[in-house]
Amino acid sequence: MGIRLKVKNAEMGKELTLELSPDETIEDVINSAAEYWNKDSGAYIIRRGKQILKGGMKISELGILNDDVVELIPDPEGG
Amino acid sequence: MEGTVLRPGSYDDDRFDRSKRIPWLDMEALSDSRVLVVGAGALGNEVVKNLALSGVGDITIVDMDHVVLSNLNRCLFFRGHDAQQKGMKAQLVADGAKDLFPECRLTPWVGRVEDMPFPWPGFQVVLGCLDNVMARLHVNAHSYHHAVPYVDGGTDGFRGKVQVVLPPDGPCLQCGMNGSHQRILEKRFSCTGSDVSFFMPKMAAEITTTSVIAAIQVREALKILSQRPDMCIRNVLFYDGERGESMVLEMEKSEGCQNHPIM
């Protein structure tokens, strides 16, 4: 049984629920959410509360509980 | 006769009188500071304008590019004839800032930051006004290696961010990057070698977000130059101009980051 994680889209305000295995990572969350919302190619980060989560972190390392909410935020690279 | 003698209106004879009324702002330190600005595009224009008006004494500006007409919706120091004459951005920003604050020493360097001849340890702070991940990583690595604080800015439409990197203890730019940043790099670079060509997608850009982000960048730099890094953003401020919101997010050093491996 996987862990359900709610991902909020910072740009659209919409929410997506992902079912994740403990070995999956924040990178997987970014990829799945960006693909689901047909995001343009660009850089994104995931935050939980006030913390930016590292891309390589496994779900099992994050102490995530079912239905915890994280947010997908675009990382602006223009100047 | 004892005591201070005041002439009515004398406060208005001092260019920086109003700045000096901010208790923590060290105007003497700003005047003695050397600052490096990498990138003289939209953010670079605003950042150098703010640094010059704030009284920073020495600004080096690096950019390899020339002005095009589509820059003119957000660049204070560029004019239509600069686009026609393919004026170099670094030179034009330096000339414009000199006009604003003639006592400031401005050094434009037209070229790639990778070829910059100035020693990094000579700067008290570096401001990144770049438009791609590769250049950001280069500036981040050199700043961190030489223990020079780095204030990076980025925009995309009405969104923006400012990250403050305070070596040797704080996380760096690379610590916050993930596979989505790596994919941008891979997508843009179509070949490697001495004459690298790459595809650079055009991003939405306008002046109000540019102004906000550049102002925050320079404010953070002023804190660093005034020896008040304790007041700085830790670690990244994200700005959403459509909603009129901003938030500060924290991050940790990454164990896999080559700039400061954790023992």
Chain B CA closest to residue A31: B180
For the four alpha carbons of A18, A24, A27 and A31, in that order, the dihedral sign comes to: negative
Give chain A positions within 8 Å (CB) of B130: 79
Q: Residue B159: what pLDDT?
A: 97
CB distance B156–A47 less than 8 Å?
no
* Positive/negative CA dihedral, B133, B147, A50, A3: positive
The residue ranges of DSSP E strands in chain B, in sequence order, are: 34-38, 58-63, 105-110, 125-128, 150-156, 159-165, 236-240, 245-249
Domains and CATH numbers, chain B: 21-249 (3.40.50.720)
Distance CA B6, CA B192 (A): 66
What is the C-alpha separation between B69 and B186, in angstroms, rounded?
A: 29
CA distance B251 to B70: 36
Q: Do A43 and B184 touch (CB under 8 A)?
A: yes
A12 at the B interface (CB within 8 A)?
A: no
Q: Which CATH class is domain A3-74?
A: alpha beta
Task: Look up residue A40 and give its DSSP letter.
Answer: P
| B160/A50 CB distance under 8 A | no
CB contact under 8 A, B180 and A34: yes
Answer yes or no: is the ipTM higher than 0.85: yes
Residues of A in contact with B133 (CB under 8 A): 43, 77
Q: How far apart are the C-alpha atoms of B132 and B118, rounded to whole Å?
A: 22
Alpha-carbon dihedral angle through residues B14, B17, B19, B24, given to the nearest 10 degrees:
120
- Please tell me the predicted confidence (pLDDT) of residue B155: 97
Residue B192: the pLDDT is: 42
Mean pLDDT by 10 residues, chain B (263 residues): 78 93 98 98 98 98 97 97 98 98 97 90 96 94 96 97 96 95 72 52 91 98 98 98 97 88 56
Token readout for B119 is: 């020693």
Q: How many CA atoms lie within 13 A of B50 on its CB side?
A: 22
What is the pLDDT averaged over residues A21-40?
93
> Which contacts of B208-211 are long-range, i.e. CB under 8 A and separated by 24 or more positions?
B208/B158, B208/B241, B209/B155, B209/B157, B209/B158, B209/B159, B209/B160, B209/B239, B209/B241, B210/B42, B210/B43, B210/B46, B210/B74, B210/B155, B210/B160, B211/B46
Q: What is the pLDDT of residue B197?
A: 59
Q: How would you class B188 by CB atoms within 10 Å of its CB: exposed for 0-12, middle for 13-18, buried for 19 or more?
A: middle
At A45, phi and psi to the nearest 5? -130, 160
Question: Testing the interface with A: which of B43, B178, B235 to mutate, by most A Cβ within 10 A?
Answer: B178
Contact between A74 and B254 using a beta-carbon 8 Å cutoff: no
Q: Which two three-digit tokens encode residue B76?
A: 């204070």
Contacts of B201 in chain A (CB under 8 A): 41
> Is the overall model pTM greater than 0.80, yes or no?
yes
Collapsing DSSP to helix, strand or coil, A54 comes out as coil
Task: Please check whether residue B73 touches A, CB under 8 A.
Answer: no
Inspect the interface and report whether the beta carbons of A41 and B136 lie closer than 8 Å: no
CB-based contact (8 Å) between B185 and chain A? Answer: no
Residue B239, beta-bridge partner list: B160, B246
B223 contact A CB<8A: no
Q: pLDDT value at position B199?
A: 64
Reading phi first (left if > 0) and then psi (alpha if -120 to 50, else beta), residue B93 is in: alpha
Give residue B128's pLDDT: 98
pLDDT at A41: 74
Domain boundaries, chain A: 3-74
User: Residues A8-22: pLDDT tens digits?
Assistant: 999 999 999 999 999
Q: Which residue in chain A is spatially nearest to B132 when comparing CA positions?
A: A77
B206 and chain A in contact, CB less than 8 A: no
Tell me if residue B24 falls in helix, strand or coil: coil
- What's residue A39's pLDDT? 85
Residue A37 sits at the chain B interface (C-beta within 8 Å): no
Amino acid at B39: G
Residue A77 to residue B183, Cβ atoms within 8 A: no
Lookup: tokens for B13? 């004879």
* CB contact (8 A) between residue A55 and residue B249: no
Q: What is the pLDDT of residues A45-62, one digit of tens each?
A: 999 999 999 999 999 999
CB contacts of B73 in chain A (<8 Å) are: none
In this complex, is the C-beta atom of A58 within 8 Å of any C-beta atom belonging to chain B? no
Which pLDDT value is given to residue B164? 98
Is it the case that residue A40 has pLDDT exceeding 90?
A: no
CA atoms within 13 A on the CB side of B95: 10
